[in-house]
Copies of this chain bind each other. A is one copy, B any other.
Amino acid sequence: MKIISNALELKQELREQNGTIGYVPTMGALHEGHIALIKEARKENKVVVVSIFVNPTQFLAGEDLNRYPRRDEADKKICELAGVDFLFMPHAEELYFDDEVKIAAPNVRGYVLEGATRPGHFSGVLRVVMKLLNIVNPTNAYFGKKDAQQLNLIELMVKQFFMDVNIVPIDTVRDSDGLALSSRNAYLSKEQRQDALKIPKSLYRASQMVSRGILDVESIKENIVDVLEPLEIAYVEILNREFEVIESVEIGKSVILVEALVGNTRLLDNVWL
């Protein structure tokens, strides 16, 4: 495995490769969720590239940029063991310049849900993802379904800017207690972790309602809110796959999204129905 910090050096190395390139962009602190992405990339491509970059432009003022977990040495080992060919670990100065051209998230879909609680967050995400995709120029790029809105916006950007990459969504990986894996779970105390389990539980209950034929969005949302009690809820939404509001769940075409605060930690989760 080659570890590269310079963007143009990586670009040059990858240009010399033959065959498909699979790419997994991450912010490090790798867990089984990331490993699932890397495994899928390894299975489907000749060359596998992982990047670790805690992107400053997607953190708002006062957010956890400085305390975001960093575990570079462990991450390198994980990548090595997972069969990664190139690990890209750029410094911010490699990716960002003075007085930049910027990406602006869509006026509607970029400022609802996660974008409403974190206005500007997705502009930063799209900005770094476009840079990274242009550097790596992968055949396939792998993103977790857990960040469903992020995934939707990246798919939009790729389509609207005619980018040559296939975006591959990968199912959320959960701990044995049901909590969706997230680098931010490290912030939770033992008690908070118990509280956090209300989130997957609420989604599980919602899925059961749908299986029983209850498709009315308002009823399902009420049930989710009941289960989440007394957590502070950021949002509970049921949307179609284009992230538009619906009144009734259509199986195979809907997604339920939840974000709640456990202590100071924002946790999000979703289920694709």
- Closest Cβ–Cβ distance, residue A245 to chain B (whole Å): 13
Q: Which residue of B lies closest to A157 (CB)?
A: B101
Interface range on chain A (Cβ under 8 Å from partner) = 20 to 34
A159 at the interface (CB under 8 A from B): yes
Q: Name, among A101, A131, A153, the residue most crowded by chain B CB atoms within 10 Å (CB to CB).
A: A101
Contacts of A101 in B (CB 8 A): 103-106, 110, 126, 153, 156-157, 160-161
A7–B159 Cα distance when bound, in Å, is 11
Q: What is the CA–CA distance of A104 and B97 in the complex, to the nearest angstrom?
A: 15
CB interface residues, A 93-115, toward B, < 8 Å: 97, 99-110
- The distance in angstroms between the C-alpha atoms of A60 and B108, with both chains bound, is 22
Decide if A32 is an interface residue (CB 8 Å cutoff): no
Kindly report which residue of chain B lies nearest to residue A108, judged by CB atoms: B99
**A164 on interface, CB distance cutoff 8 Å:** yes
Q: Does A11 contact B (CB under 8 A)?
A: yes
Which of chain B's residues have a CB closer than 8 A to the CB of A126?
A: 101
Q: Which one of A107, A159, A161 has the greatest number of beta carbons of chain B within 10 Å?
A: A161
Q: Which of B104, B109, B156 contacts A104 (CB 8 A)?
A: B104
- B103 A159 Cβ-Cβ under 8 A: no
Beyond the given A97-B156, A97-B160, could you list 14 further A-B residue pairs with CB under 8 A, ordered by the A residue number?
A7-B162, A8-B162, A11-B162, A99-B106, A99-B156, A100-B160, A101-B104, A101-B153, A103-B103, A104-B104, A130-B161, A131-B160, A135-B162, A137-B164
24 A-B pairs within 8 Å (CB atoms) are namely A7-B162, A8-B162, A11-B162, A97-B156, A97-B159, A99-B106, A99-B107, A99-B108, A99-B109, A101-B104, A101-B105, A101-B106, A101-B126, A101-B153, A101-B156, A101-B160, A101-B161, A102-B103, A103-B104, A131-B162, A134-B161, A134-B163, A134-B164, A137-B164
Q: Which residues of A contact B (CB under 8 A)?
A: 7-8, 11, 97, 99-110, 126, 130-131, 134-135, 137, 153, 156-157, 159-164
